Amino acid sequence: MMVKDIFTSKADKFVHEVYAITRGFPKDELYGVTSQLRRAALSIILNAIEGFARNSQNEHRHFLDISYGSLKETLYLLDFSYKENYMKKEEYENLTLSCDELGKILWAKRKALITDNREQTARSK
């Protein structure tokens, strides 16, 4: 069983919402925007989890950076999908709000790793 923190709980919920909403996307986008949006949304949580499993804080931070990049990719794809009328305004607003929240949590986790790494370096001198 995976240990869930606030980020993984929210990211898991977000991915399921993305999957639910993209089921209503046009069928001709199944291998285009639908697939890309799903992959980007999944990458947010998957890279964060993979980083947590790494042995070093630098590697963990690296995977959080990748996760953050996937979040930005997801935001663009949500914006694109909304402009193409693939989703309702309320769906778009809810998903982008969730992305903003996930981004803040990711950034705080990343910052904490940097601070912790600096403190460990200072103690070892």
Give this prediction's pTM.
0.87
Alpha-carbon distance 67 to 48, whole Å? Answer: 6
Alpha-carbon distance 77 to 99, whole Å? Answer: 12
Confidence grade of residue 119 (pLDDT, cut at 50, 70, 90): low
Among 9, 14, 8, smallest CA distance to 98 is for: 14
Among 36, 2, 1, 14, smallest CA distance to 106 is for: 14
* Within a domain: 124: no
* Within a domain: 11: yes
Q: Out of 20-29, 33-42, 87-96, 106-115, which region has the weakest mean confidence (pLDDT)?
A: 106-115
**What residue numbers bound the domain in which 46 lies?**
6-119
Which pLDDT tens digit goes with each residue over 35-74?
A: 999 999 999 999 999 998 988 888 999 999 999 999 999 9
Q: Which residues does 26 contact at the CB level (< 8 Å), separation at least 6? A: 86
Return the CATH number at 100: 1.20.1440.60
Which pLDDT tens digit goes with each residue over 3-32?
A: 468 999 999 999 999 999 999 999 999 999
Number of domains composing the chain: 1
Q: Is the confidence at residue 115, as pLDDT, over 50?
A: yes
